[in-house]
Amino acid sequence: MKRAMRIAALVVIGVGLVCGAALAALHVALSRGDLQPRIDAALEHATGRAVTLGGLSVRLGLRPRIAVSDATIANVPGGSQPYFARIGRLDVTLSLLPLLSGQVEIDSLRLADAEIILERDAQGRGNWVFGAGGETSAGGLTIGAVDIESSRILLPGGPVRALEVLSLSLARDEPGDPLELDGRIRIDGETLAVSARLGPEADGALPMNATVQGTGLRVALRGAWPRGSAAPDWTLALEAEADRTAVQRLATRSGVAVPAVSDVSLKARIAAGTPMPAVSDVTLRVGATDLGSMLPGLRLAHGELRAASFDGPVTVTAQGRRGTADLAVAATLPSLRRLSSWAAEATLPVEAVLTSGRARLALSGPVRRDFNLGAAVFDARLTTPDFALVGPVLGVALPRVNGVTAHARLGGLFTRTLRLDALTVTADALDMTGDLTIALAPRLTFGGRLAARRIDLDALGGGAAPARRATARMIPEIDLPIDTLRGADATLRLSAAQLVAGGVTWRDASGTLALTNGRLVIDPFQVTSPGGPVGGRAALDAAQQPPRAELRLDSRGRGLDLAALRRAFGVPAGFEGSAELAIDLRGRGATTRVLAATLSGEAGVAMVGGRFSGATALRIGPDLARVLLPRGTPAEGLALRCLALRLSAEDGVVHSQVLLMEGAFGRIDGTVAINLRDETIAARLLPDIRLMGLTVRAPVTIGGTLTDQRIGMEPGAALARVVGDTVANRLWRSSTVEFLRDATGSTSPGGECGPALTLARLGRAGPMPEAAAVPIPLVPREIQGAAQDVVRGIGGLLGGRRR
């Protein structure tokens, strides 16, 4: 027994000596490089690539260690670099006992200072696929732990250019246990902590639970990771989150400008697909974001993108505000498959709906890959029950227009300038076409042309004066649009085939509107009233304190048809004929009454020929007509040679420079004074009428107010009411006051038709009536006309023209 044990011990010692001698010989051979060509050739045969080992050493022991330094592995033909990998140092520690039985078990593998290039060749084959033509087997190779330090993975042509491995550890306790991964990597300068758990393998895939975390961001993957590219039925659930600073940091490193997003989150499911993995159940959420750089005052409360499948449509929804207006957006995009294969020069259709309250804007059109909505042109349709609802979105007060439907080609969406081409607008009160640009910043500005077939200002609230009580003043109290003018600028060419204002239809209105910093000028403008065309210039300067208004208005052509005006406005005045109108007025104030109280300028009405039928527009008219024409107006009316009226105003006090009505019946002239501050009136008429056997030459005085005139009021008392303060009194040191006071013995200030008409036309030239016949002495006025005819007849017989 003792002898057998000695023999066994000698055998073990002998085997140990032989193995030790063999290992020592192997170490010497490796150190001298005697085996390196054979090892390189074996590795090249196994990988199908040229392999070069700079240095190779073996440390003997129960856990033998192989160290490789400065090794290179060649790249595929046509690669961007000649090498696939350069390895600074590779240490491999083996388990001795499995190695003696023909199995290779690596206790640990340490890789440092390595650089690996991952790319594809022209056929799309990855350079990380090895083999010399046939399948290779790992031969039962197992690895217990892997440590990688200070290495880089280069990805030429990809969105990520480089991946640096600062430190990475992979380990498993037993060959069948899950693989644990933990470390730190850097992607394009972003340092990330990585942790993952993979395996064990099941159905060709590895169960996976991985997390990547950086400063302000986190990415998690859960599911089954494919063991190979052909592994079926694998799926991963992706969750990602990033805060405001992380989003801005990543965007800056990517060279992309994004708004100041508060936070972003992404959820998706990734599964096997051909030629690329399929993505489904995508949900991208964006938190509160200030979009003021795109549009002043625009702020996103939250937004969401959803895609149920890789081939289904993508929906985008968002909620936000601009100023006081709530905004909502719902858009439909093409499928993720189409978006992923979207060529840079191609466009894809997009549909979106923007809502603000009950206002709705529908958009559809092609969009480029860069999603530059400002360069896209959409087919746009706006529907709103009230146009004023759109005002807060644009940042300006807009008029109330009911039942609006607008259609246009819209460009510049979410930029500072919107373009509306081929615009059509239909509503309860208007029907309009044109082209319009709307600059939203730095100041709201409108530009372009608008042509309306019909505009009903009464329905819009801008044409009819508000209802007045029976005791109300004649001049209504209407606020001028001061705030609206101060809130926007505009340069517009406007026209309207039909314009309804004050219950009256006007036609062929046109004008050029310029609004700059609160100063509105419409110059020139023209419109055909029911009585004929008028035109001129209007201005309202809301930048002044108080606001200033100007109006210049002249009749055009043959003048205004007074009968047509009477029928259109429902006025019972009985003048017929064509009258010339000339107005040049200005004032200050934010309401119509304040404006009237400061009115200055001139206004005149001139008419040659025509007829007076007897009624008047004022409430006092019938009483005044009975005083001037006690026996009434003849059925055929009174033929006129001329009618002339010129009024001058200064600081709200109006007085006449001429007031004359003349005809075969005689003449009526006089003076009138009106204080527009309190609407008091003082007038004195001097008739010289002989009609139907009755002569009227007594002065007629009028006093009271514009809504309560009284005949026969004492002139001094009436004038005292008009000239009621020192300012008005200063303005009235003229012959008009003296005449109203009846303090002079001069003749009436009206004069003959010619000078009176020139005054009424504000100095402009115009037609004049034929000269009146020289009265025949000693012949009564009643038969002057017949006598004149007789004299003309005798003159024709005695000295008529020869033919």
> What pLDDT digit, counting tens, does each position of 744-779 carry?
444 444 457 888 999 999 888 888 887 665 555 555
Q: What integer is the mean pLDDT of 263-289?
A: 85
Note the pLDDT of residue 226. 67
Pinpoint the alpha helices (H) of 71-209: 96-100
Check pLDDT > 80 for residue 462.
no
d(CA 357, CA 743): 69
* pTM over 0.75, yes/no: no
Q: Name the amino acid, one letter, at 754.
A: G
- Look at residue 328 in the predicted model and tell me its pLDDT: 93
How far is Cα 203 from Cα 206, in angstroms, rounded to an integer? 8
| Amino acid identity at 50 | A
More confident residue, 206 or 764: 764
Provide the pLDDT for residue 139: 43
In terms of pLDDT, which residue wins out, 695 or 647? 647
Residue 353 has pLDDT above 60, yes or no: yes
Calpha distance 230→204 (Å, rounded): 9
User: In angstroms, rounded to a whole number, what is the distance separating the alpha carbons of residues 542 and 559?
Assistant: 33
pLDDT tens-digit profile of 433-449?
999 998 987 788 999 99
pLDDT tens for residues 256-270?
Answer: 777 778 889 999 998
Predicted confidence band of residue 520 (pLDDT cuts 50, 70, 90): very high
The reported pLDDT for the residue numbered 465 is: 45
Pair of tokens at residue 550? 């100007």
Which letter does DSSP use for residue 202 in this model?
B
State how far the Cα of 290 lies from the Cα of 297, in Å rounded to an integer. Answer: 8
3-state secondary structure of 254: helix
Tell me: pLDDT of 627 over 70. Answer: no
pLDDT computed for residue 206 by the predictor: 76
> Distance between CA atoms of 301 and 291, rounded to whole angstroms?
10
At 550 the pLDDT is 95
Is the pLDDT reported for residue 694 higher than 60? yes
Place of tokens 């009284």: 710
Phi, psi angle pair for 333, to nearest 5°:
-115, 165
Q: Are 619 and 681 in contact (CB under 8 A)?
A: no
User: What pLDDT is attached to residue 78?
Assistant: 79
Q: What is the pLDDT of residue 464?
A: 46
> Which band of pLDDT confidence, cut at 50, 70 and 90, is reported for residue 532?
very high
Is residue 801 very low, low, confident or very high in pLDDT (cuts 50, 70, 90)? very low
556 beta partners: none
Distance of CA 57 to the CA centre of its chain: 73
Top mean pLDDT of 52-66, 114-128, 381-395, 426-440 is at 426-440
564 has a pLDDT exceeding 70 = yes
What is the per-residue pLDDT for 424?
94
304-313, 600-609, 618-627: least confident range: 618-627
Q: How far apart are CA 334 and CA 482, in angstroms?
A: 47
pLDDT single digits (tens) 212-236: 999 999 999 998 876 654 555 678 8
Grouping H, G, I as helix, E, B as strand and the rest as coil, residue 539 is strand
Q: Span 473-482, mean pLDDT?
A: 85
* Tokens encoding 11: 């055998």
Which pLDDT does position 94 carry in this prediction? 76
Q: What is the DSSP letter of 304?
A: E
Looking at the chain, the whole-number percentage of residues with pLDDT higher than 90 is 24
Q: How many residues does the chain have?
A: 803
Spatial separation of the C-alpha atoms in residues 624 and 660, rounded to whole Å: 16
- At residue 585, the pLDDT reads 95
Mean pLDDT confidence for 734-749 = 48
Q: CA 656, CA 290: separation in Å to the nearest integer?
A: 62
Q: What is the band of 120 on the pLDDT scale with cuts at 50, 70, 90?
A: confident
Token pair recorded at residue 208 = 């996976």
- Beta-strand runs (E) in 155-277: 162-171, 179-187, 190-198, 205-214, 217-226, 235-243, 260-261, 263-271
Mean pLDDT of 129-142: 48
Q: Report the distance separating Cα 52 and Cα 37, nearest Å.
A: 9
With helix as H, strand as E and coil as C, how does 398-452 read? CCCCEEEEEEEEEECCCCCEEEEEEEEEECCCEEEEEEEEEECCCCCEEEEEEEE
Higher confidence at residue 371 or residue 759?
759
Q: Can you give the pLDDT at residue 337?
A: 79
Residue 305's pLDDT is what? 92
Structure tokens at 432: 């309009």
Backbone φ and ψ for 37, nearest 5 degrees, come out as -60, -40
pLDDT in tens, 147-182: 888 888 887 766 677 788 889 888 877 767 788 889
> What percent of the chain has a predicted confidence (pLDDT) above 70?
73
Give whole-number Cα distances, 357 to 15, 157, 325, 329, 389, in Å.
Answer: 93, 48, 8, 12, 7
Q: How many helices (H) and strands (E) does the chain have?
A: 16, 44
The pLDDT score that the predictor gives to residue 665 is 81
What is the residue-wise DSSP string for 586-607?
EEE-SBHHHHHHT-EEEEEEEE
76, pLDDT greater than 70: yes
Across 737-747, average pLDDT:
48
The pLDDT assigned to 645 comes to: 93
| Rounded distance between C-alpha atoms, residue 452 and residue 279, angstroms | 52
Residue 755 contacts residue 749 (beta carbons within 8 Å) = no
d(CA 49, CA 75): 7
Q: Where are the beta strands (DSSP E) in 40-172?
A: 51-52, 55-59, 65-74, 83-94, 105-117, 142-143, 145-154, 162-171
Q: Which of these, 632, 601, 598, lies nearest to 615 by C-alpha position?
A: 632
**Closest Cα to residue 165, out of 107, 109, 213, 114?**
114
Task: List the structure tokens of 250.
Answer: 């990543």
**What is the C-alpha to C-alpha distance for residues 24 and 32, in angstroms, rounded to an integer?**
12
Mean of pLDDT values over 528-534: 92
Residue pointed to by tokens 């991964």: 181
Q: What's the rounded Cα separation, in Å, for the pair 447 and 438? A: 7
Q: Is the pLDDT of residue 800 over 80?
A: no
802: pLDDT strictly greater than 90: no
* Structure confidence at residue 1 (pLDDT): 55
Instruction: Indicate the average pLDDT of the chain.
Output: 78
Higher local confidence (pLDDT), 183 or 792: 183
